[in-house]
Amino acid sequence: MRSNIVTESGLPTRLGQWWESIPFLTSAIVIVCGSIYLACLFVGYDSFSEICFLPSAVISHFQLYRIFTSVVFHGSLLHVFFNMLALVPLGSELERIMGSVRLMHVIVILATSNALFHLFIALLIAHNPFRPYEYLMNECAIGFSGVLFSMIVMETSLSGVQSRSVFGLFNVPAKWYAWILLVVFQLLMKNVSLLGHLCGILSGFAYTYGLFNYILPGSSFYSTIESSSLLSTCVRRPKLILCTGGNLSGYIPTHTSPNTSPSSLSGNLWRNLSSWIPGRETTTVQSAQDSRFPGRGRTLLSSDNQAPSALSSDSSLQAVKCG
């Protein structure tokens, strides 16, 4: 008679199951950032001054490509490793809520708004009449963590938790979590871009409070993209989460009626945001038809820790790591 023997799955099996649980876009970003770093390592490319976000170069030479190249390039193995390790739970949770195509659009908006905030603050501080700090115009920021800080703010607002753990050492109020991380990283790490992380937080709050609502299309826009022939191969993949069942106005996480006037937006902001906050500690399974959470997935993951590493200074510029 065959005995009942319970065996544990091996490490490769566990890693495979973990990787398969990561949604399409999040895993794609991990692959892209990891591949770019390995390619740079293989060919010996380390000219970060050519691809980082450099305010002086953006202003003087109109090099707008730096807005996006600075996000996907990283300066060291630990830099890309910890950034991607933090991205997996954050990106997976937001992707299950928004859908893969919608989250991709949101990430582009966040990267762009981060750059605009960075540029505006750098110009303001560098040319203020009292005590100018012109070095900010030559600060070379690189890494995905600016977007990660935006995601932290968004996920914290959606989760509804009252407190967050900082590296498992102590708990802080959830509304201060991103700010505490900003201070901790600045105190403990060298060559960390304070301005890059700060702008990520500002973009996250701007998105959470609905300031980007007027440039976000409705759910039908994303559904049209998903049904196009260009994405037919991707849509058939089980890891891609469709933007179906979302609210009609298409605003995530805050939303308003198309006929709502701008003056009533702030009055209904908290009520709208509260309607998007899922309960983290619950024993019931939400219906698949719940219109507040588009996409197939409903599992919420947690993301508490992320630790960036230092980036070597460029020979001619003050290079700092945005992560």
Catalytically annotated residues: 145, 197
Alpha-carbon span 119 to 277, nearest angstrom: 32
Contact present, 195 and 183 (Cβ < 8 Å): no
Contact present, 278 and 295 (Cβ < 8 Å): no
Contact present, 290 and 174 (Cβ < 8 Å): no
Radius of gyration over every alpha carbon of the chain, rounded to an integer in angstroms: 21
Tell me the C-alpha to C-alpha distance, in Å, between residue 46 and each of 2, 66, 155, 183, 309. Answer: 59, 15, 33, 28, 16
CA angle, 53 as apex, 64 and 125 as ends, to 5°? 105
CA atoms lying within 13 Å on the CB side of residue 74? 26
> Within 10 A of 206 (CB to CB), how many other CB atoms are there?
17
CA atoms lying within 13 Å on the CB side of residue 154? 30
Alpha-carbon span 90 to 158, nearest angstrom: 11
Contact present, 203 and 117 (Cβ < 8 Å): yes
Nearest CA to 74 among 312, 240, 255, 246?
Answer: 312
